[in-house]
Chain A
Amino acid sequence: MSFPGLTLIPRTRTTPLQVLMVSVTTVILSVLAMVLMFSLLGAEPTTIFQSFFIEPLSSGYNIGEVVIKASPLILIAQGLAIGFRAKVWNIGAEGQLIMGAITASLLPIWWPQSDSMLLLPAMIVFGALGGMVWSGIAALLRTSFNASEIIVTLMLTEIARQVLYFLLTGSLRDPGGYNFPQSVMFPDAGLYPIIGTGAVRANASIIITLLMTIGCWIFVNRAFAAFRLQVGGLAPAAAQYAGFSQKQAIWLSLLISGAAAGLAGMGEVAGPIGRLQSMLSPGYGYAAIIVAFLGGLNPIGIFFAGFLMAIVYVGGDIALVNAGIPSAAPVVFQGLVMVFYLGASLFLRYSLVSVFTLADVKEPV
């Protein structure tokens, strides 16, 4: 397919600036499209913009809410990006998040009166392991039977959800909780300490996210393992030629991203929720995929992209009240970002040129 007079020519190289421009263009187009879309539903464009992008940053409480939502998004996206660079597609971070939350919850549910200093660190380890086990299943199936990790991780998300419901209506249910599908409240020793004053709910889980971001930055820029993963993604035949194991790449990618998602799940139950319950995440595992791409699969870019997405989550709640916009608005925004990102990234790989500027080649090359 082609337009008259124009054609797409593959680029031989892309600069970091071009990568950044793709993300910036995506955000601008998504914001414009969203404002346009909701204006057609009868809302005032300025109110929409105000609610989504200004008010989330207007008070300490709101900023705290943004941090609470940014933390799991960034954490998961950092893990996913490592795999995405190697073209290992874990799209079931949501399920790994649920499993991480379940395994981490086992400890405070078993010792609800504990005041041990070790409880929170142990929950962190359990949360990461829970996510790794869940993504490890996908790695095992991929490396032994060549089962697509895309399908397997996605399906495992639904299984994780059913496991959660099963446990919450059975062995993990709070015996004194009037049959609600939720666990006992965790003791303080099983919760992240709150950062901030008053009603602010932001907690120390953001420190884990910051450490993960720094760790990923060092890994991506310095580690030979990251180089091997990247070659596997950019030029699979070159990776095979050099003898970089594809199996190892699959295991490494899925285990790191599973651990990050498990940690994020643990951060939810040990953070704003404070117990295990059936509703754990508003789709952080899926939104993190978009955050990873919008951040250009770069640890620093992901950090900013995560905050943007979190602002839209908080802004969606505000716009629901202020502008009467449906609660699905944040998901609509995520969809717009994905569509515009895919469209814009075409121009990373190709440049649009006029056919008339192409030299009229007569000689075979």
Chain B
Amino acid sequence: MSLPPLAQPQYSQGEPLLRLEGVSKKFGTLVANCDVDLSIHPSEIVAVLGENGAGKSTLMKMIFGVMQPSAGSIYWRGQRVQISSPAQARQLGIGMVFQHFTLFETITVAENVALSMPGTPQELAGKIREASQKFGLAVEPHAPVYSLSVGERQRVELLRCLLQDPSLLILDEPTSVLPPTAIESLFQTLRGLQERGIAILYISHKLEEIRALCQRATILRHGRVTGTVVPKDETAHRLAELMIGREIPRSSHPKATPGEVVLKVSGLSVQEADPLAVGLKNVSFDLREGEILGIAGVSGNGQRTLARALSGEDTLPPSGQGSIEMLGRPVGHLGAAERRALRLAFVPEERMGRGAAPTMALRENALLTAHGEGMVRRGMIQREKQEAFTLKCIADMDVRSSGPAAPASTLSGGNLQKFIVGREMMLRPRVFVVSQPTWGIDVGAAALVRQKLVDMRGQGSGIIVISEELEELFEVADRIAVMFDGRLSPSRSTALTTPEIIGQMMIGLFDAGLDTAREAAQ
């Protein structure tokens, strides 16, 4: 997995405002950041780019003094510093706007600001008005926070930072909460701040934004820096590759013989209760028996909501938009148990705690979803059936464990995944939804899981594979659709598309390569 060397960007005039050298952070045995180098100069907007879980937020929390690095040094204006608290970070001139708002909803804007600054709300109201004029951030100081939209709340967060007169501003996924119209005005504000000499660290996984806004981008993967680039000079494909971390492979496409439609989703829109989560926007697709539909996309673009809506863990509200039909009957209102009774099976992306109860033995975890396979009679558990099922699942999938009594938490991620996939396959589903089938598991286990998926397709199951790994989708899927920002692109036949095109669709360019695809079709 070696990548070609990168040209170092020519943007290092003068002394950096902030410089990190070899910064690492460990939580127990988990490594969130490893040997990270990063620098930023005044008047510079630097992106920190990475997938969810790449260690972006942890890194920012160390700069802002919320956490202390386990190793490495931080230099501020050339001086080595230990930032032991956010208060100290503010004193140095570092301000941060968190992804999750830190405002009290029941009190006013000015009162919220007064909590983090000296001065009464009355005195601060004047300052807030003044600053909101200066920076073009319209905010009414006496409005209670609960009455504000998310865009306005973010302006309050931003203003509160700016009132402290920072020289470095950290923004953690600022656009994840904003409607598209508000994003452009945020960018204008940020460019204005840049002109005033403020440096901005901009955290995101949205490539297009970074290309529009940032002079440099430092890319993180699995807690390590994989490159520092000038985003304007790189193709979206190249950035995606650095972020996802492998050369995107060519397809080796299997043949399918699809039958009747087993799952039909039409115009499905779901609003998430959490304003920070991406919901679903008018998602439609068909799934036929005997085919595998791949759903690609960077995680955090609505895949989670889609999986929950398909599995029945979240049922559609009666007033909700769109419909889900399984085997010709509407199932949107049915819960997970009822959909499973119609022979739907599902492998969630979280194995521990969702796909399996961690402290329970494998045989108990078999009972979890396979209880309909004769394991329960007159309300009582049939131990022999349960044991036989568990043993068969362990043998079929080559699950390495100490046996049916082993608690799920004692298995490695790959072995637990094999167990869960095996359990769900043994239910002989008509519709099989698999989310991130090979996330974080070793190559051998991944190959086995993929092979089993292809085998199941041959036996007539309709399969949906939701995955971030293009390699995987090109290997198993017959068609690929892409999720971005809650929308699902039309699907493309795997044979008629390329990883480059899908890669561009993953950053929102749904029309990418349509011409090429048409040519190829002809």
A243 to B372, CA, bound (A): 12
Which of A9, A234, A241, A359 interacts with B359 by CB under 8 Å? A234
Which of B110-118, B209-217, B227-235, B333-341 lies at the binding interface?
B333-341
Q: Is A14 an interface residue (CB 8 A)?
A: yes
Question: Which residues of chain A are within 8 angstroms of B409 by Cβ–Cβ distance?
Answer: 12-13
Interface size class of A (residues with CB under 8 A): 20 to 34
Contact between chains at A224 and B28 (CB < 8 Å): no
Q: Which residues of A contact B357 (CB under 8 A)?
A: 231, 234-235, 238
B380, A224: Cβ atoms closer than 8 Å: yes
Contact partner of B313 among A222, A227, A240, CB < 8 A?
A: A240
A-B contact count (CB 8 A): 96
**Does B503 sit within 8 A of A, measured CB to CB?**
no
- B338 and A243 within 8 A (CB): yes
Complex partner residue of B360 from A231, A244, A361, CB under 8 angstroms: A231
What's the nearest-Cβ distance from chain A to residue B421, in Å?
14
Closest to B314 in A: A240
Taking CB atoms, residues of chain A closer than 8 Å to B353 are 235, 237-238
Closest-by-CB residue of A relative to B376 is: A224
A228-273 interface with B by 8 A CB criterion: 230-231, 234-235, 237-238, 240-245
User: In the complex, are the beta carbons of B350 and A237 less than 8 A apart?
Assistant: yes
Chain B: interface residue total (CB-CB under 8 A): 41
Chain B residue numbers with a CB within 8 Å of A13 are 359, 407, 409-410
Residues of the A chain whose Cβ atoms lie less than 8 Å from the Cβ of B358: 12, 234-235
- Given known A222-B381, A234-B357, A237-B350, contact A242–B31 (CB-CB < 8 A): no
Interface of B is mostly: mixed
Which residues of the partner chain B approach A241 to less than 8 Å between Cβ atoms?
A: 311, 313, 336, 346, 348, 354-355, 368-369
Q: Is B312 an interface residue (CB 8 A)?
A: yes
CA distance A27 to B224 in the complex (A): 50
Decide if B2 is an interface residue (CB 8 Å cutoff).
no
Contact with A along B352-373 (1 / 0, CB 8 A): 0111111110001001110100
Whole-angstrom CA separation of A359 from B355 in the bound complex: 29
Say how far B101's CB is from chain A's closest CB, in angstroms: 23
For the complex, give the distance between the alpha carbons of A230 and B357 in Å.
10
B34 sits at the interface (CB 8 A): yes
Which residue numbers of A lie inside 8 Å of B, CB to CB?
A: 7, 9, 12-14, 222-225, 227, 230-231, 234-235, 237-238, 240-245, 358-359, 361-365
Not counting A12-B358, A12-B409, A242-B369, a sample of 8 additional A-B residue pairs whose C-beta atoms are within 8 angstroms of each other reads A13-B407, A13-B410, A223-B380, A235-B358, A241-B354, A242-B340, A362-B34, A363-B34
Cross-chain pairs A/B with CB under 8 angstroms, 11 sampled:
A222-B380, A223-B380, A225-B379, A231-B368, A240-B313, A240-B336, A241-B354, A245-B335, A245-B337, A361-B31, A364-B224
